[in-house]
Amino acid sequence: MAARVKALVAGNWKMNGVRASKKEVTALARKLAGKTKPACDVLICPPATLVTTLKEVAKGRKIAIGGQDCHAKQSGAHTGDISAEMLKDAGAAYVIVGHSERRADHGETDKIVRAKAEAAYRAGLVAIICVGETEDERDAGQTLKVIRTQLKGSLPDGATAKTTVVAYEPVWAIGTGRTPTSDDVAKVHAAIRKALEKRFGAEGTKMRILYGGSVKPSNASELMAVPNVNGALVGGASLKADDFWGIISAYA
């Protein structure tokens, strides 16, 4: 049985945001300031260009900042890439690895995702490791097989509850407005929990499992109430403070 863990609501800004966007973080911080102890941890993962800027805005407030990707190596001739150590130096506390858009657009394999997660650990970052099936895989009844394979290949052997968050994102639901039923989500999250417990023992009972896929204020309460859903990985709805707050409020 999964341990009781504090939820995490993480916003993935993807390739959106400029310095003026910090006003949304300021607005969110004001909303959070009314709570002496938020019922969930709050994280924003902006483009790398904004990590330091938003870290300054969030300083002393109830918002953590993270990166959206990192290279497996610490440094070297990798033009355009950013290491986990650079993100840490910029003020990040987390980094997303293995997002479906990275897997699809950049051909990232489970092996690459695992190496990036290990880089996150090396730098002292929490790795949010993403798994999820495509529409074709879902229609073929392969969802759980795909998820188990990705978990096995993407999570390092040294993963712990303090260093690792798993995010389930049905690829077919991201940005489409389509959302699995609560029963669908419960089935997948239960399978993820079982796989984590089998492989990591007690640590697997405490790892946070986030749901990501068209999470909105209108469906957040229902989704966040599903067993083994320990928070959300939010895309577009995290760009505006009011929308993001609507999701965070599912834990009010």
From the list 85, 133, 169, 203, the catalytic residue is 169
Residue 169 annotated to the active site: yes
Q: What are 231's two structure tokens?
A: 């928070």
From the list 99, 108, 118, 133, the catalytic residue is 99
Query: Largest Cα–Cα distance of the chain, in whole Å?
Result: 48
Nearest to residue 136, comparing CAs of 172, 162, 100? 172
User: Residue 146 in 3-state DSSP?
Assistant: helix
102-140 as b/e: b if 16+ CB within 10 A = bbeeeebebebbbbbbbbbbebebbbbbbbbbbeebbee
Residue 189 annotated to the active site: no
User: Residue 201 in 3-state DSSP?
Assistant: coil
* H or E segment and range at residue 237: none
- The dihedrals phi and psi of 228, each to the nearest 5 degrees, come to 70, 10
Q: What are 237's two structure tokens?
A: 């709805």
Q: Catalytic site residues? A: 99, 169
